Chain A
Amino acid sequence: MKVLVGIKRVVDHNVRVRAKADGSGADIASAKMSINPFDEHAVEEAVRLKEAGVATEVVVVTTGAANAQDVLRHALALGADRAILVETAEHLNSLASAKVLRAIAKREAPQLILIGKQAIDDDAAEVGQMLAALLNVGQGTFASKLTIADGKVTVAREIDGGQETLELNLPAVITADLRLNDPRYIKLPNLMLAKKKPLETIALADLDVNTASKVATINVAEPPARAAGKILNNVEELIEILHAQVKG
């Protein structure tokens, strides 16, 4: 069984992102970049499926500029077998990203597609569901556990108020939540090994995907700051405030 994992290069989660002065976007030109954390869980799960003998090959794919190779190498160091960079300088909205992944899925014919449940830059959580719709397959979003048997995947999903378990026919799209697994630390030899694994670059223009979007960001700004708070002197003051705000 082949597993395809979609990943994204995003601003590292420790960076406090600010708006550009002209409001045209986030000021990320010099920010440290990393693999989207949810996508790292998706890669880890795919590698574990291979280690368990369930998957035979793990292919990772990202769409972006040439520098997105770094997150592909990271995924290869985690244990993916080969990588595909769909190279473009343009920013893609969710639907276009899903269409690119569909084009790659048509080429690779994976039985399982894993992707993070959301990217921590736009926090949209859309691409996995869109891809499942485009491929007309089942979707297991916000997944915290998955088991594969008899051509089906059983997936536990984090939902408001608890958890639900679904069974999906394969192929299917799974979007990874943080509780799916704990990604491994990458050891130096694996980092070296990753440099020798195959990384194919495909120009976006060669995929014949319509990437036009009618949704556009027209301004990006920092939210208004909260007014400065007050440090209380003792617990009695706090009790008084709770009485006034809650009980009163």
Chain B
Amino acid sequence: MSILLIAEFDQNSLKAATRSAISAASQIGGDIDVLVIGQNVNAIAQQVAKIQGVTRVLVADDAAYAKPLAENAAPLVQSLATKYSHVIAAASSFGKNLLPRVAALLDVDMVSEVTKIIDASTYVRPLYAGNLNATVKNDEAIKLLTIRPTGFTAAQDGSQSVSIESVLATGDKALSRFLNEQIQTSERPELGTARIIVTGGRSLGSAEKFESLIAPLAGKLNAAIGATRAAVDAGFAPNEWQVGQTGTVVAPDVYVAIGVSGAAQHVAGMKESRIIIAINQDPDAQIFQWADYGLVADLFDVLPKISAAL
């Protein structure tokens, strides 16, 4: 067995989701070559080389990869994939954009959003917003998987660095061009990998209340801020804070749901959290069915008290 794993990174550092994917790959076993696709990515390659479980780092450094365009990256991954039994990426917006394109180029079906590795060709993944779990067998000659980061711990750095080798770029396919990006930079932990998350729902009533009640509590807990789709649609919070089936899927140690009704599509994104705490004025709110600890109370009354007491 040999695994090609696609790294994901921002300007300065490897994403935690890639470390989770490396953990999943380690459960499959065999050599793990991690491919860094980018431009001037030496520093990222060196970070990857230190991670426990990595056999080799491959670097494709080219202007065509300056931005993560699937049209350019997919042929590169395809060119390398035939030497491997598995090609793996995190089920992030990056991995989900890229890997299905690679799969079609290789003429194979793939398995997305894997939450559990049973053996080298058998995995568990959710269906119907996590209401069901499917066990899936992949008998393709090259098995492509995206790994849901919340299902696996992040691989840690080891005591030494493995070798870094260059691979040939496959050029600019001239199908797409990057124009710009707006990435939220924040002092707060990243939503997808935060240990603690405070999430606000529509009951907060306005963007001002969302900010004035959720942000202080998140600050005190050193938590990332999440939002329900209803709160995002109402304009209380930006879309990148959305937790749920169609937003970010999270599984923190502690998830604090404030004024969250508990719609199925939201629960799909947080029900794997270790501890769920819910505060809602409605005693019949669905969220209490998922909460380890629930408090029926007026948000506007209790939230300042909680923030002050921590």
Q: What is the interface of chain A, defined by CB distance below 8 A to chain B?
A: 11, 13, 16-19, 26, 93-96, 98, 118, 120-134, 136-139, 141-142, 144, 154, 157-169, 172, 177-179, 213-223, 226-227, 229-232, 234-235, 237-239, 241-243, 245-247
B160 contacts chain A at the CB level, 8 A cutoff: no
Q: What is the interface of chain B, defined by CB distance below 8 A to chain A?
A: 69-71, 74, 92-94, 96-105, 107-113, 122, 126-140, 174-184, 190, 192, 196, 221, 229, 239-240, 245-246, 248, 253-254, 256, 264-265, 271, 275-277, 279, 288, 290-297, 302, 305-306, 309-310
Q: Are A164 and B181 touching (Cβ within 8 A)? A: yes
Closest 8 CB pairs of A and B: A129-B100, A133-B104, A130-B104, A164-B181, A162-B183, A138-B175, A126-B100, A215-B109
Q: Are B306 and A245 touching (Cβ within 8 A)? A: no
Q: Are B128 and A17 touching (Cβ within 8 A)? A: yes
Given A125-B96, A230-B293, A215 and B138 contact (CB-CB distance below 8 Å): yes
Measured in the bound complex, the distance between the Cα atoms of B304 and A202 in whole Å is 62
Measured in the bound complex, the distance between the Cα atoms of B94 and A162 in whole Å is 12
Given A94-B100, A215-B139, A160 and B240 contact (CB-CB distance below 8 Å): yes
Q: Are A139 and B113 touching (Cβ within 8 A)? A: no
Measured in the bound complex, the distance between the Cα atoms of B229 and A130 in whole Å is 28
B233 to chain A, nearest CB (A): 8
Q: Are A163 and B94 touching (Cβ within 8 A)? A: no
Residues of A within 8 A of B97 (CB): 129, 139, 141-142
Residues of B within 8 A of A241 (CB): 277, 293
Q: Are A222 and B295 touching (Cβ within 8 A)? A: no
Q: Are B101 and A238 touching (Cβ within 8 A)? A: no
Identify the closest chain A residue to B222 (Cβ): A246
Given A219-B135, A235-B305, A165 and B179 contact (CB-CB distance below 8 Å): yes
* Residue from A122, A144, A232 in contact with B127 in the complex, judged by beta carbons closer than 8 Å: A122
Q: Are B190 and A215 touching (Cβ within 8 A)? A: no
Main secondary structure of the interface of A (DSSP, over half): mixed
Measured in the bound complex, the distance between the Cα atoms of B127 and A221 in whole Å is 10
Residues of A within 8 A of B130 (CB): 223
23 contacts between A and B (CB under 8 A): A94-B100, A123-B113, A126-B100, A129-B98, A138-B175, A142-B93, A144-B239, A160-B92, A161-B190, A164-B181, A166-B177, A166-B179, A168-B175, A215-B138, A217-B136, A222-B132, A223-B126, A226-B292, A229-B291, A238-B306, A241-B277, A245-B253, A245-B275
Known: A122-B127, A231-B296, A242-B256. 18 other contacts (CB 8 A): A123-B127, A123-B128, A136-B175, A141-B70, A157-B93, A160-B248, A161-B190, A164-B182, A168-B177, A169-B176, A213-B109, A215-B140, A218-B136, A229-B288, A235-B295, A241-B293, A243-B310, A245-B275
Residues of A within 8 A of B74 (CB): 133
Measured in the bound complex, the distance between the Cα atoms of B103 and A214 in whole Å is 13
Given A130-B103, A160-B240, A229 and B294 contact (CB-CB distance below 8 Å): yes
Q: Are A137 and B175 touching (Cβ within 8 A)? A: yes
Q: Are B112 and A124 touching (Cβ within 8 A)? A: yes
Measured in the bound complex, the distance between the Cα atoms of B108 and A177 in whole Å is 25
Residues of A within 8 A of B128 (CB): 11, 17, 26, 120-121, 123
Given A130-B100, A160-B192, A242-B221, A235 and B302 contact (CB-CB distance below 8 Å): yes
Given A126-B112, A217-B136, A163 and B182 contact (CB-CB distance below 8 Å): yes
Q: Are A246 and B132 touching (Cβ within 8 A)? A: no
Q: Are A17 and B288 touching (Cβ within 8 A)? A: no
Given A161-B184, A179-B239, A129 and B104 contact (CB-CB distance below 8 Å): yes
Residues of A within 8 A of B271 (CB): 226
Residues of B within 8 A of A246 (CB): 196, 221, 253-254
Residues of B within 8 A of A230 (CB): 292-294
Residues of A within 8 A of B182 (CB): 162-164
Identify the closest chain B residue to A243 (Cβ): B310
* Residue from B102, B104, B133 in contact with A134 in the complex, judged by beta carbons closer than 8 Å: B104
Q: Are A242 and B134 touching (Cβ within 8 A)? A: no
Q: Are A223 and B135 touching (Cβ within 8 A)? A: no
Q: Are B276 and A229 touching (Cβ within 8 A)? A: yes
Q: Are A126 and B306 touching (Cβ within 8 A)? A: no
Given A94-B109, A163-B182, A241-B277, A123 and B126 contact (CB-CB distance below 8 Å): yes
Measured in the bound complex, the distance between the Cα atoms of B190 and A172 in whole Å is 32
Identify the closest chain B residue to A230 (Cβ): B293
Identify the closest chain A residue to B127 (Cβ): A122
Measured in the bound complex, the distance between the Cα atoms of B276 and A158 in whole Å is 27
Measured in the bound complex, the distance between the Cα atoms of B138 and A213 in whole Å is 9
Residues of A within 8 A of B103 (CB): 94-95, 126, 130, 133
Identify the closest chain A residue to B287 (Cβ): A229
Q: Are B131 and A220 touching (Cβ within 8 A)? A: no
Measured in the bound complex, the distance between the Cα atoms of B245 and A118 in whole Å is 10
Q: Are B180 and A165 touching (Cβ within 8 A)? A: yes
Measured in the bound complex, the distance between the Cα atoms of B248 and A125 in whole Å is 14
Q: Are A161 and B183 touching (Cβ within 8 A)? A: yes
A143 to chain B, nearest CB (A): 11
Given A162-B184, A245-B254, A16 and B179 contact (CB-CB distance below 8 Å): no
